[in-house]
Structure 1
Amino acid sequence: MRLTVDHVTRYSYDQPVRGVVQSHRLTPSVFEGQMVADWMVEVTDGVKGGTFRDGAGDRITAWSVPGPVSEIVVRVRGTVETLDLAGVLRGHREGVRPEVYLRETAATWADPALVALAVAAEGAEGSLDAAHRLSAAVADAITYTPGVTEAQTTAAEALARGAGVCQDHAQALIAMARARGIPARYVSGYLFADAEGTPHEAAHAWAELWIGGLGWIGFDPANRCCPDARYIRLGSGFDAQDAAPIRGIARGPGVERMDVTVRVLAPTGQTQSQSQQ
C-alpha cells in the first residue's frame, strides 16, 4: 500500500522564548513491512543537529531553533510503501535485548486492577494466544473515547475510567503484558483508517509484545487488530513519553500551545484528516 503523510505540528508561545531544542523520532522505521519512497522533515528557522540510530533501531535527529521565537512549525511530508506482515516486525535491526522492556514506568505501572485483568485473560504465558487475549481484554475494558484522557494519564487511570484513546490502550496492554512476564513496548506512528474508516487522533499508537520464536508482534487494541499495511511505524519506547515523535525544551517563561494536523492519503484517493487542539 502506498501511503502519503502530511503532518504539521505548530508550537506557539504567549511570549517569545529564548530558544527551543527538540529531539525528533519522525523517520519511518526500517524493516520488511515498509520502505520509504521519500521523506522530509522541516522546522521553521531550525538548525539541524546530529542524527543517529539508537539501540532500539529508531533514527533520532536533534534540532534547535534560536530565539527570540514565538512560533515553530514542524512539518513532516513523505511517502511510504507498506506491506501487511500480520503485525510481525520482520527485518528490523536493533541491539536492545527484549528483556529490557519488562521494566515498569510510572505510566505503565500495573496496579491490582490491571494485574487482575491480565490474569483473567486466559492463555499460556508468553504465547501468541496469550498476547491476543490480553489485547482483546484491553479493548473490552477501555472504550475508545477521544478527549476523556490527557497525555499524562496512566494505564491504571485509564482502566479505572473505562475510557481512553489509543495511547491509553497501548499503555494498558504494555502494563498487563509485563505483569505476565511478556516484554512489551509502546510504538508511535500513523494509521490511514480503521476497518470502518473511523477517524483517529493526530498520531496513532499501539504496542509490540515479544513472543518467543516469533519476535516483536504489534497489537492495536483500539482497532482490535495487529498492524497491517495501513500502518506506518515511526519508533518505540517504554511508554508514550519515551516514544514521543517530538520531545523538546523551550528556554523562557512563555506558555506553550501545540496544534497538530495530520493528513494521510492512499492510492484510492481516500483521505484521513484529523486535528488536535
Structure 2
Amino acid sequence: MRIEVEHHSRYRFTEAQARVVQLLRLFPDDTVNQTVVSWRIDVDCDARLRESRDGYGNLIRMLYAEGPLETIGITVSGEVLLAEQPRGIEAEGEPLPPAFYRRTTSLSAADEAVAAFAQAAAGDGEARARLDRLTGALRRRFAIERRDGDGVLSAADAFARERLSPRDLAQLLVGCIRAIDLPARYVSGYSLDGCDRRERPAPHGWAEAFVEGHGWLGLDPSTGAMPGRDHVRVAVALDSAGAAPISGTRIGAGDEQLDVDVAVERLSGEG
C-alpha cells in the first residue's frame, strides 16, 4: 500500500521570540515493511536544519531559527510504500537492548489500578496471546476520541477516563505491558485508522512489546490488533514525550499556541 502524508505544525507566540530551537522527529526511516519513496520538510522562516539520529536510533532534525519570530510553520510531506508487517521485528542492529525498555517513566508508569487491570486482562499463558488479550481489553474499555493539540495523558491519568485518543491509549498500553514484565516502547507515526475516518487524522501512536524468540511485536490499542499496512512508523521511545513529533526551547516571553493538521491518504490505485 502506498500512503501519502502531509503534516502541518504552526506555533504562534503572544510575544516575538528571539530564538527558537526545535528537535523534529518527523522523518520515517526504511524498515522491514516500510520504504520511504519521498519525504521533504518546509519551514516558513529562515532556519538552519541539522540531520542526525537520537539515542533511540530515530532520524531527527535540529531546527535553529533566529528572531524576532511571532510564528513559525513546519510542514513535512511525502509518500511511503508499506508491505504486510511481520508479526515480529528483530532487534538486531538497534542501538539499545530490549531490556532498556523495561524502564518506567512518569508518563508511562503503571499505578496499582493500571497494574491490576493489565495482569487480569493479560491472564496466563504464552506471551503473544497475553499481549493480544491485553490490547483487545483496552480497546473494549475505552471509547476513541480525537483531542486537539500535541499532548498525551500519562498512563495513570488516562486509565481514569472513559474516552481516550489513540496516543493516550498507546501510552497506557506501554505501561500495561511493562506491568506484566515485558519490555515495551511507544511508537509515533501516522495511520489511516488513527481515529474516526470522518475526522482529519492526528499523528498516531501505538506500542511495541519485545518477546524472546519473536522480536518486537506491534500492537495498536485503538484498533485492538497489530498495526497493519497503513501504519507509517516514525519514532520509538520509552514514552510519548521521547517520540513527540516536535519538542524544543525558545528565548522570549509570552505564551505559545500549537495548531496541528494532518492528512493521511491512500494513493489512488494502491491496494
| CA separation of 1:132 and 1:166: change in aligned 2, threshold 3 A | same
TM-score, scaled relative to structure 1: 0.89
Residue in 1 aligned with 2:119? 119
Q: Which 10-residue stretch deviates more, 258-267 or 147-156?
A: 147-156
- 1:259 aligned onto 2:255: no
Residue in 2 aligned with 1:217? 217
Letter in 2 for 1:239: D
Gaps of 5+ in 2: none
Gaps of 5+ in 1: 271-277
Letter in 2 for 1:146: R
Deviations 1:157-185 (A, max 9, x none): 11111221112111111111101111001
- Aligned-residue CA RMSD (Å): 2.4
Residue in 2 aligned with 1:250? 250
What is the DSSP-based 3-state SS (H/G/I as helix, E as strand, rest coil) of the residue aligned with 1:104? coil
Aligned residues: 270
Alignment of 1:195-214 (within 5 A): 197=197, 199=199, 201-214=201-214
| CA separation of 1:67 and 1:92: change in aligned 2, threshold 3 A | farther
Contact residue 87 and residue 219 of structure 1 kept, 8 A: no
Residue in 2 aligned with 1:94? 94
Letter in 1 for 2:249: I
Contact residue 141 and residue 159 of structure 1 kept, 8 A: no
Counterpart CA distance in 2 for 1:46 and 1:102 is 41
Alignment of 1:125-164 (within 5 A): 127-147=127-147, 151=151, 153-164=153-164
Residue in 2 aligned with 1:20? 20
Letter in 1 for 2:159: L
How far is the alpha carbon of 1:148 from its aligned partner? 9.6
Counterpart CA distance in 2 for 1:126 and 1:21 is 46
Contact residue 8 and residue 75 of structure 2 kept, 8 A: yes
| CA separation of 1:148 and 1:189: change in aligned 2, threshold 3 A | closer
Residue in 2 aligned with 1:275? none
Residue in 2 aligned with 1:109? 109
Alignment of 1:40-119 (within 5 A): 40-86=40-86, 88-89=88-89, 93-119=93-119
Q: Which 10-residue stretch deviates more, 204-213 or 152-161?
A: 152-161
Deviations 1:195-228 (A, max 9, x none): 9845464211111111111111111111122111
| CA separation of 1:132 and 1:3: change in aligned 2, threshold 3 A | same
Counterpart CA distance in 1 for 2:199 and 2:25 is 23
Counterpart CA distance in 1 for 2:196 and 2:20 is 40
| CA separation of 1:16 and 1:113: change in aligned 2, threshold 3 A | same
TM-score, scaled relative to structure 2: 0.91
Counterpart CA distance in 2 for 1:197 and 1:108 is 28
Contact residue 57 and residue 92 of structure 1 kept, 8 A: no
Letter in 2 for 1:112: E
Alignment of 1:231-250 (within 5 A): 231-250=231-250
Letter in 1 for 2:171: Q
